[in-house]
Amino acid sequence: MYFGFKDISINYGKREIIKDVTIEFPKGKTTTIIGPNGSGKTSLLKVISRAVTPVRGEVVFNGKPLKQYKLKELAKKIAYLPQVHNSPSDIDVRTLVSYGRYPYKQFGRGLTRYDNDIIDNTIEITGLKNLQNRLVETLSGGERQRAWIAMTICQQPEVLVLDEPITYLDIGFQLEVMELIKKLGEEMQLTIIMVLHDINFASRYSHYLLSIKDKGVYSYGDPRKIITSGKLEDIFGIQSQIFEDEKNNCPFIIPEKKRSKWLTLGN
Amino acid sequence: MQKNYVFRGLLYVNKNGMRCFNSSSTYKITLIIVLFILGFIAMIASVCLGTMSFSVKESLHGIFVNDDSAARLIIWNVRLPRTLSGGLVGICLALSGCILQGVMRNHLASPSTIGVTSGASFVGYLTLVAFPGYYHLLPIGSITGGFFTTLGIYLLAYNKGVSPVKIILSGMAVSTVFSAFNDMIRSFFPEKLANATGFLVGSLNGVAWKNLIMILPYALIGILLCLFVPSKMNILMLGDEMANSLGVRTESFRLFLILVSSLLAGAAISVAGLINFVGLIVPHIARLLVGSDYKYLLPASIALGYMLIIICDLIGRIVLPVGEISVSVVLSFVGAPFFLCLLRNKEAK
């Protein structure tokens, strides 16, 4: 197994969130996890970042459980960007991006010329060149997200894990960030695992979708296989129309009606 | 999401949010060097001035020539050890505050606000009462007390990350309890505490070479350990999850930091007693001057902590025609208004 979960179960206190999930993420591809609020998507990602310890099971990377890696070695392979991140108020973009080189830092030594080359390169490809001396807190949401993604890229990871990377952004920045993720994924052949709430973005920017329902994997595979009105009704309780986006070669949905005890939407 | 108070450096950002000249590393390094020079000047002033003032030349004579002159008696036996210990205490408290603010992710944390000093002095008192003849055990007692108090407060306030409000509140509660114990010990065993005056009142009065030598090893170890901290600390400030995935073992690093800060605070307290506000104000002033990058923040705090205590002690010594005001009193007069300003200016971002 290259990278994936093996019989993972997660409890919060006594409440079971995820039960016996086994999944392998294909190398060099983008997999997006979808599912209702509270279904355990973020918890699954947090197992990767070790913020959540599973009650059973393990995350496997290159055939070995994550536990057997040194934290610093792992940081060179797997980069993780949580949904909310806070930075000190007065660091500039370049400094933030340079923190991505921390796992490579030798004790007592600053950034090497090689590190600086990588930082320059990352800033270039993420389009932050004109922003690199700006303070992070003065950036707009989309620019800030780009800066954080650049930091994770500076880790030169093989696997990039993103938790709702576009949640707080307007549609323009959403598109921009998704395009950036796609570009990075292709250029660096990253294995990307992310959580998205927007089904249409998920469909358009992922090779594979993974839907979570009732503590486990509901369906997994090509977006075309997952995004059907029957399956969406099962997962989210919505009725929807599915169309084909010919330009982007993927399905897209228009939600119509939510099955709900107290509210009926649509006609 | 937890909000930290935003502290913008002086003239730090221009209208467009671009860095200004004074956020360049050359500027910061220059500033730190200037601070160290000012600290040195403050030290000279503190040695020369007092109820009986000497010229620099006389003072140097007093330091380096062993004779019966008044300069030798006053400067070598009294002012020099007092100044050096004061400086060391300042450094320790400032560093300790700096580190605690990082560990707790709370800009209001400091050895005194979160109750570390009172916990440390409580165990210090116990040591003095239990082993009256062993004055040199005092720092060990204080450091142990400081460590367990910090750890306790941290664990009390910890629930998937540390809540800033909880820390301050539990710190206050712990602090109050220990102060009560301290008062009790003071009233029950006054005779056993007689030779630890500085420890009791928060003063540098009567501090001699033996006191300096007593805390020197602990302080030096603490300061040296701080060399390992800065870049890792910067990563920790990105939040636990981020730090974790960048390869920092956050839990053990936190424990290490708590240990270092207790070492520093405990050492300081065993000479100078309860000196409030240094650990709080200094990191803030340092942050205003050089920003929140720990690579600059720690050295700047060293210089400022050193300077602040020496100057406040000097003021306390020379402001009254007869007698003196203890350094903690001077600091409270300066520090309390500053603390209130901090609370007032905290920007809910």
* ipTM for this model: 0.86
A129 touches chain B (CB under 8 A): no
Q: CA A178: distance to chain centroid? A: 11
For B156, the domain range is 81-345
What pLDDT does residue B346 have? Answer: 55
Contact B94, B283 (CB under 8 A): yes
Residue A70 burial by Cβ neighbours in a 10 Å radius (0-12, 13-18, 19+)? exposed
What is the count of structural domains for chain A? 1
**pLDDT for position B142:** 86
Nearest-neighbour CA in chain A from B214: distance (Å): 30
Q: How confident is the model at residue B15 (pLDDT cuts 50, 70, 90)?
A: very low
- Examine the pLDDT at B45 and tell me if it is beyond 80: yes
- A135 at B interface, C-beta within 8 A: yes
Q: Assess A95–B contact: CB distance below 8 Å, yes or no.
A: yes
- pLDDT greater at residue B335 or residue B127: B127
Residue A136 lies in a domain: yes
Q: Is A53 on the interface with B (CB under 8 A)?
A: no
pLDDT exceeds 60 at position B16 = no
Is the CB of B7 less than 8 angstroms away from the CB of A103? no
Q: Which residues of B touch A139 (CB under 8 A)?
A: 17
Range scoring the smallest mean pLDDT among A41-55, B191-205, B263-277:
B191-205
Residue A255: per-residue pLDDT = 87
Residue A182 domain-assigned (yes or no) = no
Query: Could B242 and A85 be called an inter-chain contact, meaning their C-beta atoms sit closer than 8 Å?
Result: yes
pLDDT of residue A245: 87
- pLDDT, tens digit, 9 for 90 and up, residues A158-183: 999 999 999 888 999 999 999 999 99
pLDDT for A32 equals 94
Does residue B21 register a pLDDT over 80?
no
Whether residues A79 and B291 touch (CB distance < 8 A) is answered with no
In chain B, the number of structural domains is 1
pLDDT band per the 50, 70, 90 thresholds, residue A156? very high
Contacting A residues, span 157-186, partner chain B, CB-CB under 8 Å: none
How near does any CA of chain B get to the CA of A197, in Å?
A: 20
- Could you read off the pLDDT of B166-199 as tens digits, one per residue? 777 888 888 888 888 888 888 888 777 766 655 6
Residue A4 included in any domain: no
- Measured at the CA of B38, the angle between CA B36 and CA B42, to 5 degrees, comes to 115
Name the more confident of A121 and B195. Answer: A121
Calculate how close chain B gets to A88, using CA atoms only, in Å. 7
CA contacts within 13 A on the Cβ side of A80: 25
Q: Is the pLDDT of residue B332 over 60?
A: yes
Span between the terminal Cα atoms of chain A, in Å: 47
Report chain B's mean pLDDT, rounded to a whole number: 81
Assess if residue B46 is contained within a domain.
no
* Domain with A137 in it: 87-156
- Has residue B57 been placed in a domain? no
Q: Would you say residue B305 has pLDDT above 90?
A: yes
CB contact under 8 A, B18 and A86: no
For an interface test with A, give the residue of B246, B295, B349 to mutate (most A CBs within 10 A).
B246
Rank B50-59, B72-81, B167-176, B291-300 by mean pLDDT and report only the highest.
B291-300
Question: What per-residue confidence (pLDDT) applies to B187?
Answer: 83
Best mutation target among B238, B290, B346 (most A Cβ atoms within 10 Å) is B238
Return the pLDDT at B10.
Answer: 45
**CATH assignment of the domain containing B100:** 1.10.3470.10
Chain A residue with minimum CA distance to B106: A88
Instruction: State the Rg of chain B over Cα.
Output: 20
Residues A123-151, mean pLDDT to the nearest whole number: 89
Given this model, what pLDDT does residue B281 score? 87
pTM over 0.95: no
Examine residue B63 and state whether it is found in any structural domain, yes or no: no
- Quick one: pLDDT at residue A138? 85
Is B38 or B104 the better-scoring residue by pLDDT? B38
Asked if the Cβ–Cβ distance from A89 to B8 is below 8 Å, we say yes
Q: Tell whether A72 is within 8 A of chain B (Cβ).
A: yes
Lowest mean pLDDT across A49-53, B212-216, B234-238: A49-53
What is the rounded distance in angstroms from the CA atom of residue B163 to the CA atom of residue B171?
A: 12
User: Residues of A with CB below 8 A from B13's CB?
Assistant: 90, 135, 138
Q: Would you call B245 and A75 a contact, using CB atoms and an 8 Å cutoff?
A: yes
Identify which of B234, B235, B241 has the shortest CB distance to residue A49: B241
Question: Is the pLDDT at B143 greater than 80, yes or no?
Answer: yes
Range with lowest mean pLDDT among A23-27, A257-261, B172-176 = A257-261
A67 touches chain B (CB under 8 A): no
Q: Which of B1, B20, B242 to mutate to test the interface with A (most CBs of A within 10 A)?
A: B242
SS3 A187: helix
Question: Is any Cβ of chain B less than 8 angstroms from the Cβ of A78?
Answer: yes
Q: Does pLDDT of B162 surpass 90?
A: no
> Taking CB atoms and an 8 Å cutoff, what residues of chain B touch A92?
19, 23
Residue B12: pLDDT over 60: no
What pLDDT digit, counting tens, does each position of B146-158 carry?
A: 888 888 888 887 7
Of A51, A74, A92, the CB nearest to B241: A51
Q: What is the mean pLDDT of residues B245-251?
A: 88
Closest chain B C-alpha to A87 CA, distance in angstroms: 5
Selected residue of A43, A48, A71, A104 to mutate for chain B interface (largest B Cβ count, 10 A): A71
**Tokens coding B348:** 């809910």
